Each structure stands twice: as structure tokens, then as C-alpha cells.
């Protein structure tokens, strides 16, 4: 198999080196191109990349020279579109160790066999083995083989993987998707890649997973191919992990201010786009509620209520114009959407011509239960919605039609971003 591994990095040189060594050691007979993007690092990453390009013909790197972070949302796509030379690519984090046989499993599930070739579009994810730094889940394995490259217990990991693989004659697969995920470049490019509204990072993965699924791509997680994943060694937990005297492991500090700020911004962008929070099943297969055209008619509005409700609808009709001006001033720079057009005067709406669904809200009696209804409105409409007038707590929901628009979100074009 010929495959291009896609690895943006920012000030995580020791993980890149650790990851590189594992790839070259355990790639088997596959031709592996390693594609690295140095995102304005200051830890010597670019010097190392230049050395590697001189000694390894299948190592290519690019550098963000601006001094300002671009983020992996942008750099993933740059590497796939401009650097990767193979038809199969894999999003692969710098803090991952490639286990022996992992690429054999990717090849098996991407190509099939001569007798039973794979013809449908699919994405194959390797199974992550991780130290217990995050809560357990059925889609991964929690085993502690080290929390930093300096204490990584490679021999024990390899013995564990061998015993696990040898334990079964056949290996099940599950439906889910998480890094590292291998894909056909043409399927990625057909969608337009990642949506740049999520740059520099956060929620770009859930967004593109939703779009792949809506476009008919099958998800496979193999349980005979593994990586060891240190987890979150980029902008989220920049200080890494540590171990207390009892041997328990945890992140040294909480998430960075940069990550928290961007995660909040990307979460609001995701809700504006999809109309709901990120959703998936226990194996991380996307759950995609319908996207409806919903307008909010808000009486007795204030700035806090506007901030809470704005992402959850297509249009807002409100009565407090001073709050609108204040909100646009604080929020316009944080979104790619045209809030000036989205937030309108309550006297200017036409019930017959505007949104398919209208929700009337009175700020004087709006409560937490009402907000919960707003957050679940897509599911409520999908389960029991029908044309007419409906009371939902203190909300009045007027449904003219239940047309859905989620499939219009599959493809990213320049015109999409200009309209937003």
C-alpha cells in the first residue's frame, strides 16, 4: 500500500521525533510518505524537518512562516492537497506511536482482497491505546505504557499488542471514526476538505465526519491495528502530563486559555451551522439530527438572552435594538456568519414569508427548561413535529413545513464561506 500520513505540528518536536521513529520502524512493506506542517514553531521543529528532508526522500515538510498560528484545520488540507502524493492519506497526530501491523489492517479494510475487493467509499480508523488521562470508552483501550516519550515502555506495548492480536482468529470491526483515520484523497477533496470556519482548530473533525456520513462514506474502526496515543499534546494541554507518587497520571495543568477560547468559538460556529451540539454514539459514529429553518421571535430581549439564543436559529426578530448593536459589536469578530442580516427588527418579519418554523419567546418568562427545549428542538421536531401551533413550555412553536437542509451542508466551496 502507498499512503501519505498527514501531521501538522506546533512546538511538539519531541513527539514528532518519537512518532517518526515508530512509523519508520513499524511501517512494514508499505510505502509511507510522512507529510509534516510546521505551524510557526519555536522549538526547532523546522530545523529538524529540513534535516529529515535531506535524509528521507519520503519525508516532506512545509512551514507557516507568518509567525501567527494557522492551526490544523487549515494545515490538514494544505498537506492533503499540495504535499500528499498518494491516493490514500491518513490524519495522524504527532503524539501517536504506530504499532506493528497497523498499516496491514488499513490496507485490508481499504482494499479488501482480489476475490472480494472493496468498492464503496470508506474511512478506516485504527484503535487507540491510551494512558488513563481521559475517561474510558468502548472505542479505545486504556493501558498505561507511558505518558511521555522519555518513559515510554515500548517493549511492554509491543508484547501487549501481539498478545491481543494473537488472541483471536478473526477480529471484529465497529462503526466509528477518530484519529488516526485513513481516507481516499478523492473523497476528501470531493467534500471540499475541512470547513475553515473552525480554524485554527476544534470541531473541524466532527463537522467533516458529519459531512462524510451524509455523503455516503462508510466508517470502519479496525481492532487489529493500533496506535499508542499520548493524547492532547498540542494547544489543548501544552504542558503535557505527569505522574503522582502513587503512579496515577493526569495532565499537569488545565486546558490552555488559547484552546478554551477557540473551543468556545468553534462550538458556537458548529451550532450555527448544524443546529445542535456535536453528537455521536458510544463508538464515535456521528449522530446527525435534521437541520431546520428556524426563526426566533423574541420579545423583551436583552444582551444575555441574545447571546444564549443566537446560534440556535437561522433568523432572530427582536425588539431591543440597543442589545442588538451591543451584541454585534462583541460577536461579529468571532464568527464567519453575517449576524447583521441574521438579527432583525421584530416589526419587520412576515409570518407567511420568512422561516419554515417560528418560535415565539418572551424574555420575561424564559427559563432553563425553555433553553433545554431550544437545544433539543431538532430532535423534538424530528420525533413529533407537525404543521400548526404548539406550546412547548413557555415557547410557542409555529410550524409551516418541516423541510430539512442538512444535506446542503456536505460540500465546502468558496461561495459557501462568502455567504456566511
Q: What is the pLDDT of residues 271-309, one digit of tens each?
A: 999 999 999 999 999 999 999 999 999 999 999 999 999
Least confident of 30-39, 80-89, 117-126: 117-126
Q: Global pTM?
A: 0.94
Q: How is residue 327 written as a grid cell?
A: 451584541
Question: What is residue 234's predicted lDDT score, i.e. its pLDDT?
Answer: 62
Domains of the chain: 2-270 (3.90.550.10), 294-403 (no CATH)
Question: Residue 400: left (phi > 0), alpha (psi -120 to 50), or beta?
Answer: alpha
pLDDT value at residue 384: 85
Does position 397 have pLDDT exceeding 70, yes or no? yes
* 238-282 per-position pLDDT tens digit: 667 778 887 888 766 667 788 889 999 999 999 999 999 999 999
CB 291 within 8 A of CB 275: yes
Q: What is the pLDDT of residue 235?
A: 60
Instruction: Give the model's confidence band at 415: pLDDT under 50 very low, under 70 low, under 90 confident, else very high.
Output: very low
At 124 the three-state DSSP class reads strand
pLDDT in tens, 302-333: 999 999 999 999 999 999 999 999 999 999 99
Cα–Cα dist 340/356, whole Å = 20
- What average pLDDT is seen over the chain? 93
What angle is formed at CA 58 by the lines to CA 53 and CA 62, rounded to 5 degrees? 50
Give the pLDDT confidence score for residue 418 in this predicted structure.
Answer: 47
96-98 and 140-142 beta bridge pairing: unpaired
Give CA–CA dist 50/1, Å, rounded.
Answer: 26
Which of 28, 30, 32 lies closest to 7 in space, CA to CA? 32
Amino acid at each position: 500500500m502507498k499512503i501519505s500520513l498527514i501531521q501538522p505540528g506546533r512546538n511538539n518536536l519531541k513527539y514528532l521525533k518519537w512518532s517518526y521513529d515508530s512509523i519508520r520502524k513499524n511501517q512494514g512493506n508499505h510505502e509511507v510518505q510522512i507529510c509534516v506542517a510546521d505551524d510557526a514553531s519555536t522549538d526547532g521543529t523546522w530545523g529538524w524537518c529540513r534535516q529529515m528532508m535531506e535524509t528521507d526522500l519520503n519525508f516532506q515538510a512545509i512551514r507557516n512562516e507568518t509567525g501567527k498560528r494557522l492551526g490544523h484545520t487549515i494545515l490538514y488540507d494544505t498537506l492533503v492537497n499540495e504535499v500528499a502524493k498518494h491516493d490514500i492519506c491518513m490524519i495522524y497526530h504527532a503524539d501517536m506511536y504506530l504499532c506493528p501491523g497497523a498499516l496491514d489492517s488499513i490496507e485490508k479494510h481499504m482494499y479488501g482482497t482480489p476475490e472480494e475487493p472493496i468498492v464503496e467509499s470508506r474511512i478506516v480508523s485504527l484503535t487507540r491505546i491510551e494512558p488513563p488521562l481521559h475517561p474510558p470508552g468502548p472505542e479505545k483501550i486504556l493501558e498505561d505504557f507511558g505518558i511521555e516519550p522519555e518513559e515510554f515502555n515500548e517493549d511492554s506495548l509491543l508484547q501487549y499488542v501481539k498478545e491481543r492480536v494473537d488472541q483471536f482468529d478473526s477480529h471484529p470491526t465497529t462503526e466509528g471514526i477518530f484519529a488516526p483515520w485513513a481516507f481516499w484523497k478523492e473523497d476528501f477533496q470531493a467534500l471540499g476538505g475541512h470547513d475553515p470556519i473552525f480554524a485554527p482548530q476544534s470541531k473541524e473533525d466532527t463537522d467533516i465526519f458529519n459531512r462524510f456520513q451524509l455523503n455516503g462514506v462508510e466508517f470502519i474502526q479496525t481492532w487489529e491495528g493500533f496506535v499508542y496515543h499520548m493524547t492532547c499534546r498540542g494547544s489543548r494541554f501544552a504542558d503535557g502530563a505527569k505522574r503522582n507518587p502513587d503512579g496515577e497520571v493526569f495532565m499537569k495543568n488545565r486546558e490552555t486559555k488559547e484552546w478554551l477560547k477557540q473551543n468556545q468559538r468553534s462550538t458556537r460556529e458548529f451550532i450555527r451551522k448544524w443546529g445542535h451540539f456535536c453528537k455521536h454514539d458510544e463508538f464515535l459514529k456521528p449522530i446527525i439530527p435534521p437541520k431546520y429553518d428556524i426563526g426566533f421571535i423574541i420579545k423583551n430581549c436583552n444582551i444575555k438572552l441574545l447571546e444564549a439564543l443566537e446560534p440556535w436559529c437561522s433568523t432572530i426578530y427582536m425588539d431591543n435594538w440597543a442589545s442588538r448593536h451591543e451584541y454585534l459589536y462583541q460577536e461579529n469578530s468571532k464568527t464567519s456568519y453575517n449576524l447583521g442580516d441574521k438579527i432583525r427588527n421584530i416589526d419587520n418579519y412576515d409570518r407567511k414569508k420568512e422561516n419554515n418554523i417560528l418560535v415565539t419567546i418572551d424574555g420575561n418568562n424564559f427559563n432553563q427548561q425553555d433553553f433545554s427545549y431550544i437545544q433539543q428542538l431538532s430532535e423534538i421536531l424530528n420525533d413529533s413535529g407537525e404543521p400548526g401551533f404548539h406550546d412547548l413550555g413557555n415557547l410557542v412553536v409555529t410550524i409551516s413545513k418541516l423541510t430539512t437542509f442538512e444535506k446542503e451542508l456536505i460540500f465546502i466551496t468558496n461561495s459557501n464561506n462568502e455567504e456566511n
